[in-house]
Amino acid sequence: MIKKIRRIRSHYQNINFKYLKIIQTLFVQLKLQNKNIFIYKNLLFYLADNSHINVLGKLEIGCQWQNGKYYPSQLIIRENATLEVKDDFKIFTNCNIWLNTNATLILGSGYINNGLNMSCFNRIEIGHNVAISENVTIRDSDDHFIKSPVEPSEPIVSKPITIGNNVWIGMNVTILKGVSIGDGAVIAAGSVVNKNIPPKTLAAGVPAHIKKNNIEWF
């Protein structure tokens, strides 16, 4: 066990030291259960004792583009949260991923480029063959209530997000709670998605609305 810890320490030199013991232990346990989880250096990783990870394919977190830089990243999985990966999925460096208590994150296949900011309080599901560009925010909760005389009752703070298969999301897009993006859809750069997007459509704007129908992308 001491030899394994030394090897892991040399591989993860830049990780915050107060999480290092947790990372050492969990990395060994995850390797025994599933050899297809790859956590790259300069990534802070916290996994609560009663949380769950199930990887059927391969998951890479905090990886770099060729000749690029390992920016700081973090993956926080809190109590009773679930991370499920159905196929091969890659998340590049500078990611900030929070699975909060009782939340579920399901990943199909594809990749998310640098700068992901994801907060999962309820449920986020991403399909297969998905391409997500840089600096995208995916957040299934408002965190706070807003009351007004017109709407005196407390609104629903968190709602699930579903991103379908073969979806392309451009850079600097924000995806908010309760949204479903249909198979084959494209979300243009800089858009804010706060309502459902049908399959095979191009959506753009703040808020995003349909620009083209019956599209295909390659």
163 half-sphere exposure, CB direction, 13 A CA radius: 32
Q: Is 128 a catalytic residue?
A: no
Q: What share of the chain is helix, strand, coil (3-state, %, to 5)?
A: 10, 40, 50
Contacts 24+ apart (CB under 8 A), 13-22: 13/41, 14/41, 14/42, 14/70, 14/72, 15/41, 15/42, 15/43, 15/44, 15/45, 16/44, 19/44, 19/45, 19/46, 22/46, 22/47
Q: Of 77, 39, 28, 84, whose CA–CA distance to 57 is shortest?
A: 84
Q: Are 202 and 211 in contact (CB under 8 A)?
A: yes
212 forms bridges with which residues in the sheet? Answer: 202
**Active-site pick, 11, 52, 144, 209:** 144
Name the 3-class secondary structure at 3.
Answer: helix
Q: CA Rg, the chain, in Å? A: 18
Catalytic site positions: 144
